[in-house]
């Protein structure tokens, strides 16, 4: 399995608090967490690298892509967003993290606005496992907590998830569908809510385990080699 962690990687450069929490970047922390959980073949890519980190070749060599973006979704080229979506439909797994809910990639794959309510005051988030037998919940306790996180509230404008794994409880009064699985084309998509840049979420052992579980769950079952197309079937299998 070849895993690519993509990160906008701008907050870390401009905000010393974020740089302090994530000295190797958010992508670096996520990648470390994956390695720590036994995922091999992990590399990273960032927005300011050539071809925004994801050349055609790079994407073609990625089995599962993780996506963290926030302020600069619009800078991601339409062509790249389209290429990522195409590869997801072909079979690549995609793990969309936190503010990636509003990325071009996620919005295109969902077909909905993907908006939500938010408040970045650093409040307690408690995540409840609603489907303990789901592979993304493997090895987790009934709930787990993040002492300080951004709040995301409903309605989360996404299609009804094919598989709902977590609900979040926020101290400030909201509940949220925090772990949403989707099957699209040959690929699988998992949206996992936590991860505001000013809190050390991706350094948390349980969060790292969830993300590793999600990567394993989203590993491609098959990968389409040819682009999808409408295919004419002649002659018929049976006399008409």
Half-sphere exposure of 52 (CA within 13 A, CB side): 17
Identity of the residue, 28 or 100, whose beta carbon is nearer to its own copies in the bound complex: 100
With binding defined as CB under 8 A, does residue 184 bind its own copies? Answer: yes
Locate 126 and state its tokens: 């408690």
Q: Say if CB 108 and CB 89 are below 8 A apart.
A: no
Which of 82, 117, 147, 205 is close enough to bind its own copies by CB under 8 A?
A: 117
> For residues 42 and 3, is the Cβ–Cβ distance under 8 A?
yes
Binding of its own copies by 135 (CB under 8 A):
yes
Cα–Cα dist 215/115, whole Å = 24
β-bridge mates for residue 152, sequence order: 118
From candidates 67, 156, 191, 192, binder to its own copies by CB under 8 A: 156
Per-residue contact string for residues 6-35; x = within reach of its own copies by CB under 8 A: ------------------------------
Based on the shown chain and the rule CB under 8 A, indicate whether residue 186 belongs to the binding site for its own copies: yes
- Told to check if 225 binds its own copies by CB under 8 A, we report no
Q: Is 1 in the site for its own copies (CB under 8 A)?
A: no
Helix (H, G, I), strand (E, B) or coil at 233: coil
Rule CB under 8 A: is residue 163 a binding residue for its own copies? Answer: yes
Instruction: Give the one residue of 43, 138, 198, 200 binding its own copies; rule: CB under 8 A.
Output: 138
Give the residue, chosen from 41, 83, 167, 206, that forms a contact with its own copies under the rule CB under 8 A: 167
d(CA 112, CA 190): 16
Minimum distance of its own copies from residue 211's CB (angstroms) = 18
Q: Quick one: 50 or 133, whose CB is closer to its own copies?
A: 133
Q: Could you tell me which residues come within 8 angstroms of residue 107 by beta carbon, excluding any fewer than 6 positions away?
A: 113, 114
Residue 5 to residue 65: CA distance in whole angstroms: 6
| Strand, coil or helix: 153 | strand
Exposure class string for 112-142: b at 16+ Cβ within 10 A, else e: eebebeeeeebbebebebeeeebebbeebee
Q: Is 77 in the site for its own copies (CB under 8 A)?
A: no
Q: Which CB sits closer to its own copies, 72 or 184?
A: 184
Choose, by CB under 8 A, the member of 37, 60, 83, 119 that binds its own copies: 119
Q: Judged by CB under 8 A, which of 84, 110, 211, 212 binds its own copies?
A: 110
The Cβ of residue 70 has, within 10 Å, a number of other Cβ atoms equal to: 20
Pick from 185, 198, 200, 206 the residue near its own copies by CB under 8 A: 185
Q: Quick one: tokens of 167? A: 């609900």
């Amino acid at each position: 399995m070849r895993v690519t962690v993509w990160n906008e990687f701008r907050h870390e450069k401009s905000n010393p608090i974020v740089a302090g929490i994530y000295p190797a970047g958010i992508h670096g922390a996520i990648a470390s967490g994956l390695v720590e959980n036994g995922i091999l073949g992990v590399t990273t890519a960032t927005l300011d690298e050539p071809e925004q980190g994801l050349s055609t070749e790079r994407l073609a060599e990625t089995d599962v892509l993780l996506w963290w973006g926030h302020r600069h979704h619009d800078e991601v080229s339409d062509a790249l967003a389209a290429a990522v979506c195409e590869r997801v439909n072909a079979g690549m797994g995609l793990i969309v993290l936190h503010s990636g809910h509003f990325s071009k990639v996620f919005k295109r794959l969902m077909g909905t606005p993907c908006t939500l309510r938010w408040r970045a005051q650093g409040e307690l988030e408690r995540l409840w496992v609603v489907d303990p037998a789901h592979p993304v919940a493997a090895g987790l306790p009934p709930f787990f907590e993040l002492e300080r996180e951004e709040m995301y509230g409903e309605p989360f404008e996404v299609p009804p998830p094919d598989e709902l794994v977590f609900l979040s409880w926020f101290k400030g009064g909201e509940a949220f569908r925090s772990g949403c699985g989707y099957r699209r084309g040959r690929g699988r998509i998992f949206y996992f809510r936590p991860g505001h840049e000013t809190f050390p979420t991706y350094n948390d052992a349980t969060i790292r385990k969830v993300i590793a579980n999600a990567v394993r769950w989203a590993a491609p079952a098959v990968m389409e080699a040819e682009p999808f197309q409408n295919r004419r079937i002649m002659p018929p299998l049976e006399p008409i």
